[in-house]
A and B are shown apart, each in its own frame.
Chain A
């Protein structure tokens, strides 16, 4: 029995060693880190003065490089208001007092309550206590031993990708006009199917605004630019309903609301977009410049007024 236990322990030890080596190699591959935007949350700076949350509309709309304030983009593809809140809670220590929080609001923001498909991403950077329905098995699978769920990405163990900037900061691409039409139509249909009147989302947004207020931060609601190809699929009454909802919330929580969805500096200017509702790198820089100039001036004016 002693011999068996000794051999068994040695076997286990070597096995753990081999597996750890493979897992570690995978975790540190550029491919894995690029795909998860790990860098983004590894190096969140301290004393953030302005930041945004949100989904891909957030990732693709705000850059803080030319701002005299320390800014940070916390948005993540398809991230809903609830996860916006969790991300802020995770990194709340990194904010300066009175920081400004930009909350992008668009039609799809109110439809993405089901995050089950990408819940696992948040295991990478949220602490366990913040994760909805935290499950130890998922924590092991996604956080500690991601190689278990690598699938075809196992190739990175042999051929690693090049190190690259996170996706949200590197895309410089213009969609062909014909494709733009098609994509716009499809997206508009998706948005309409989802609708923006989802009660759960509105409650989540309310919770987020309350949290921001309780932290002593200032919130700004923004509807980021989209193309006319997308806008044409929404009726005036649909847009009005949306506008009324957001303006109502802005008033209730005493926050500013900026709507660029039909701004003529963007709506018909295809050079700023990579697809129907996402800005490209140049568009992002241009929008950020305009938005920060206009909003921060207003914000200061409002502060002075108070």
Chain B
């Protein structure tokens, strides 16, 4: 069941109405049932996986709770890691590694004949696996008590608004909220609905429209010249952002309607002034997860090494893992490694850049420096994005290689227009898309500068608010691409 489907449009209000009509102590049953139904609408059989994962981590948590010493808890942790990562490997990575081994074997003229499994990737497996792992690791570390109520724990693993694409929640924030009794709060509900609407705008009007161009160009990159590839790459950055942050907005807004707060997952990432800052604004729930459960432990483990080597190794490993988390494909691994290189280079050149700025007499926060940094960071994000989007490493190289070609055509107005319209979108589509992106950026810039926000809107007279709501909804209805396209992050 996609958020942008009729099914969800009927499902969500029913769940909300019954939720508030049910006595608080029974609400978890309703939410759990609804979440399982939501998940089963994709592939009923895969509910077994999520239930199995839930049971394993629930029992591992209880087992660890009985152990006073960390050493005693370790076996439960390893058990949980083995099962969860084993399932993830089996469903997501087995065929990738199998194919890589087969290739390697053929290079060395060795025989290799293991069968490929061709299993269908269960929706959201990477997200709920990381979520349950964070619980088990926290219990192991003694950061939280194990959850004794199986129902609440199962709901923590499967809470439908964030089940298939996050935000990846921590047990210490989500579980207490699932246990708490939430009375109906009109302001909270309307804020939630508004955030959901904003998420739909990003997804249906921008991401799904832009997808037409991106899919056309990246489907056969050899047919397009440099400026077209550049435009498609820029548009892809918006597609990815609007698709994923749109999903997150719907998830956070949807949870808000139930009185539950989920963590912020995106904070206007294209306004970041460095790649390190970008990762504090983009997919925040994953980057903080990786920081807490991968980077920091790695830095501790590598204590014997020189500080700089430790840092480089930890960053590179973390971001390679981040790439691999996104997908079992060389392109994602390279994308992750590029991010790692960016951060390492950024870190290493910081003293030099500081000195240079001081020499030139440029203060740290002057607007033109910020503007240059924002543009440069965005360009770096786009370049890495080529590997994220390309269907293969060869395609990504082809795009990179051709980026400089064919720009001269831009001075031939008519010819350029003809080529623009050969990119999978008509004139109307381009106008609507560009207008929507500009509108979104203005709103987001206003939010960044705290010019407007939900409380600001709530303080306006009713005619103003309702007009704004109607205009937004009409924009979605009239200019949305109603093809029911999947969310990009569902494949991860």
Enumerate chain A interface residues (CB-CB to B < 8 A): 1, 3-4, 11, 14-15, 18-19, 22, 136-137, 140-141, 147-152, 154
Cβ–Cβ contact B6 & A151, under 8 A: no
Contact of B478 among A4, A15, A154 (CB under 8 A): A154
With known contacts A1-B184, A4-B186, A4-B189, A18–B474 Cβ distance under 8 A: yes
Contacts of B427 in A (CB 8 A): 152
Interface size on B, residues (CB 8 A): 20
Residue of B nearest to A3 (CB): B186
Cβ–Cβ contact A149 & B482, under 8 A: yes
Q: Distance in Å from the Cβ of B200 to the closest Cβ of chain A? A: 13
Q: Distance in Å from the Cβ of A6 to the closest Cβ of chain B? A: 11
Give A19 to B474 CA distance when docked, in angstroms: 8
Cβ–Cβ contact B477 & A148, under 8 A: yes
Cβ–Cβ contact B477 & A151, under 8 A: no
Main secondary structure of the interface of A (DSSP, over half): helix
13 residue pairs bridging A and B, Cβ less than 8 Å apart: A1-B184, A1-B186, A4-B186, A4-B190, A11-B469, A14-B470, A18-B474, A136-B6, A137-B484, A141-B482, A148-B480, A151-B426, A152-B428
Q: Distance in Å from the Cβ of A159 to the closest Cβ of chain B? A: 14
Contacts of A11 in B (CB 8 A): 466, 469
Is the CB of B1 closer than 8 A to any CB of chain A?
no
Contacts of B327 in A (CB 8 A): none
With known contacts A141-B482, A151-B429, A19–B477 Cβ distance under 8 A: yes
Residue of A nearest to B184 (CB): A1
Which of B6, B429, B473, B478 has the most A CB atoms < 10 Å from its CB?
B478
Is the CB of B5 closer than 8 A to any CB of chain A?
yes
Contact of B470 among A18, A140, A154 (CB under 8 A): A18
Residue of A nearest to B432 (CB): A151
Give A151 to B428 CA distance when docked, in angstroms: 7
Enumerate chain B interface residues (CB-CB to A < 8 A): 5-6, 184, 186, 189-190, 426-429, 466, 469-470, 473-474, 477-478, 480, 482, 484
Cβ–Cβ contact B186 & A148, under 8 A: no
Cβ–Cβ contact B6 & A148, under 8 A: no
Q: Distance in Å from the Cβ of B428 to the closest Cβ of chain A? A: 4
Give A169 to B332 CA distance when docked, in angstroms: 56
Residue of B nearest to A151 (CB): B428
Q: Distance in Å from the Cβ of A15 to the closest Cβ of chain B? A: 6
Contacts of A154 in B (CB 8 A): 478
Cβ–Cβ contact B478 & A150, under 8 A: yes
Cβ–Cβ contact A152 & B426, under 8 A: yes
Give A285 to B466 CA distance when docked, in angstroms: 57
Residue of B nearest to A1 (CB): B184
Contact of A147 among B186, B466, B478 (CB under 8 A): B478
Contacts of B466 in A (CB 8 A): 11, 14
Contacts of B428 in A (CB 8 A): 151-152
The 9 closest A-B pairs by CB, nearest first: A152-B428, A4-B186, A137-B6, A1-B184, A148-B482, A141-B482, A151-B428, A148-B477, A154-B478
Q: Given A147-B478, A148-B478, A150-B478, list of 16 further CB < 8 A pairs? A: A1-B184, A4-B186, A11-B469, A15-B470, A15-B473, A19-B474, A22-B474, A22-B478, A137-B5, A137-B484, A140-B6, A141-B482, A148-B480, A148-B482, A149-B482, A151-B426
Contacts of B482 in A (CB 8 A): 141, 148-149
Give A53 to B370 CA distance when docked, in angstroms: 66
Contacts of B186 in A (CB 8 A): 1, 3-4
Q: Distance in Å from the Cβ of A140 to the closest Cβ of chain B? A: 7
Give A147 to B186 CA distance when docked, in angstroms: 32
Contacts of A151 in B (CB 8 A): 426, 428-429
Give A78 to B189 CA distance when docked, in angstroms: 49
Give A137 to B6 CA distance when docked, in angstroms: 6
Q: Distance in Å from the Cβ of A14 to the closest Cβ of chain B? A: 8
Contacts of A19 in B (CB 8 A): 474, 477
Which of A3, A4, A136 has the most B CB atoms < 10 Å from its CB?
A4
Q: Distance in Å from the Cβ of B423 to the closest Cβ of chain A? A: 16
Contacts of A15 in B (CB 8 A): 470, 473
Contacts of A136 in B (CB 8 A): 6
Q: Distance in Å from the Cβ of B310 to the closest Cβ of chain A? A: 53
